[in-house]
Amino acid sequence: MLKKYASLRDAFHQARGAMGNPFDVTFDAILSPTTARLGDRTVLLLGTNNYLGLTFDSACIADATEALRQEGTGTTGSRIANGTYGVHAALERRVARFLGRRDAMVFTTGYQANLGILSALAGREDTLLLDADSHASIYDGARLAGAQVTRFRHNDPADLDRRLRHLRDRPGEKLIVVEGLYSMLGDTAPLREIAAVKREHGAYLLVDEAHSLGVYGDHGRGLGEVAGVESDIDFVVGTFSKSLGAIGGFCASDLPDFELLRLTARAYMFTASLPPSVAAGVSRAFDRIDQQPELRQRLKLNAERLYHGLRAAGFVLGPVPSPIVSVRLSDPALAMRYWNELLTAGLYVNLALPPATPENQSLLRMSVSAAHEPEQIDRAVEIIAAIGTSLGVRSAMPDVAAA
Ligand code: PMP
């Protein structure tokens, strides 16, 4: 059965033999949101998506622990079969209140939120218009939906408009799907322009705020809040696995009859619900986002520090700072070597290789946390720059293109 992966196996073994396998780093201990132990070394984490550093928040841990003691380790089934716990219902009310929406549905992961919502919303007669750089969960949800799928050029509202014009006479509904902050390159969607196209064509709009919830906006509601287009967004999808520091996903909406999706979204119906401890901890994490805007401020300062540090070191980056920064390389072998040397020097970042990346680039992807100390960011910049120099990356400037 696995013969079809022969070429993958060769690459995998080559990577492992050469210098340790980037895809199975095993941390011996997680020490804090920004440090971990790997063997006898402490490494600095710069690739966690732990944007607000809430994984070690004492209030979240206290609420999760209390729920763990009171209600046990797991629900052992789906909400349709085993029933909803009070903490699930409370979390859904919390998500809806946070986003100012009528309803919210909670899923066991963010991946399942996209899978469940897209497949339940779009039928064969409907059309999904997906940004070309969409996350795998969006593509998989579209496939499960069986709807017609049209990809439009990444962050290009004019291309979206053109495609909707072509589809004008097609029966069924049109649903545009975009992300707020894109996970690989850290660029943001032009939501104001996309919302205008949506209105013009009478389409629906879903925004996946996986990386922007709790991170962007005066209240942390994401890119929709920043762009002032929340009323144009019909469905907000998000995850609890990044800024909220846990696991789980959601979709929130004002649409009447949104509740019906509980009886049609298979990724909701046929999988076990969140453990009560997670639901309780996440509810508290929303309180933290509400009560501690300084976390977002600290994250912003740290993102700017990394961005300006790398720019000063000669890296060509995107036009504005973002909590996600990627160094783009055209050669996967060089990227692997760079990644490995960073780890050897005590810095953990994400290695993203084709085909999981936009335009088949190899990426050293970093994500900043509010929990980073400024000195940690400075140290990371020093390490990245020193190894870049030794590998000739910074001198080979065209290799490191603008994000
Ligand atoms: N949507 C986007 C845009 C993502 O980047 C991710 C995770 N990387 C997901 C959904 C899935 O979220 P989760 O990891 O919580 O399943």
pLDDT digits (tens, 9 = 90+) for 308-343: 999 999 888 888 999 999 999 888 889 999 999 999
Q: Which residue has tokens 């994984």?
A: 55
Look at residue 320 and give its three-state secondary structure: coil
User: Is the CA virtual torsion 277, 279, 282, 284 positive or negative?
Assistant: negative
Name the pTM for this structure: 0.95
CA separation for the pair 368, 46 (Å, rounded): 6
Calculate how far, in angstroms, residue 210's C-alpha sits from the geometric centre of ligand 1. 6
CA separation for the pair 323, 172 (Å, rounded): 38
Strand pairing category for 174-179 and 204-208 = parallel
Look at residue 332 and give its three-state secondary structure: helix
Calculate how far, in angstroms, residue 53's C-alpha sits from the geometric centre of ligand 1. 17
Phi-psi region of 291 (alpha: psi -120 to 50; beta: other; left: phi over 0): alpha
DSSP letter, residue 39? T
Which is catalytic among the residues 183, 283, 362, 367? 183
Q: Hey, what amino acid is at 107?
A: F
Give the CATH class of 3-55+293-399. alpha beta
CATH architecture, range 57-291: 3-Layer(aba) Sandwich (3.40)
Take atom 14 of ligand 1 and give the residue whose Cα is closest. Answer: 110
CA separation for the pair 36, 364 (Å, rounded): 19
Which is catalytic among the residues 135, 174, 198, 242? 242
CA distances from 77 to 87, 93, 119, 178, 274 (A): 15, 21, 21, 31, 9
Strand pairing category for 41-45 and 35-38 = antiparallel
pLDDT of residue 95: 98
Calculate how far, in angstroms, residue 239's C-alpha sits from the geometric centre of ligand 1. 6
- ipTM beyond cut 0.90: yes
Residue 175 contacts residue 127 (beta carbons within 8 Å): yes
CA separation for the pair 241, 218 (Å, rounded): 21
pLDDT of residue 393: 83
CA separation for the pair 190, 277 (Å, rounded): 37
pLDDT of residue 18: 54
Take atom 15 of ligand 1 and give the residue whose Cα is closest. Answer: 110
Which is catalytic among the residues 88, 198, 211, 372? 211
Residue 183 known to be catalytic: yes
Give the residue ranges of the chain where pLDDT is below 70. 15-22, 394-403
CA separation for the pair 43, 38 (Å, rounded): 7
pLDDT of residue 333: 87
DSSP letter, residue 262? G
Domain ranges within the chain, ordered by starting residue: 3-55+293-399, 57-291
Atom of ligand 1 nearest to the CA of 183: 5
CA distances from 271 to 22, 28, 80, 317, 342 (A): 30, 30, 9, 41, 38
Contacts of 345 (CB under 8 A, 6+ apart): 383, 386, 387
Q: Which residues pair with 363 in a beta bridge?
A: 328, 352
pLDDT of residue 394: 64
Residue 222 contacts residue 251 (beta carbons within 8 Å): no
Calculate how far, in angstroms, residue 166's C-alpha sits from the geometric centre of ligand 1. 31
Residues with CB under 6 A from ligand 1: 109-111, 114, 135, 137, 179, 183, 208, 210-211, 239, 241, 249
Q: Hey, what amino acid is at 139?
A: Y
pLDDT of residue 403: 34
Take atom 8 of ligand 1 and give the residue whose Cα is closest. Answer: 183
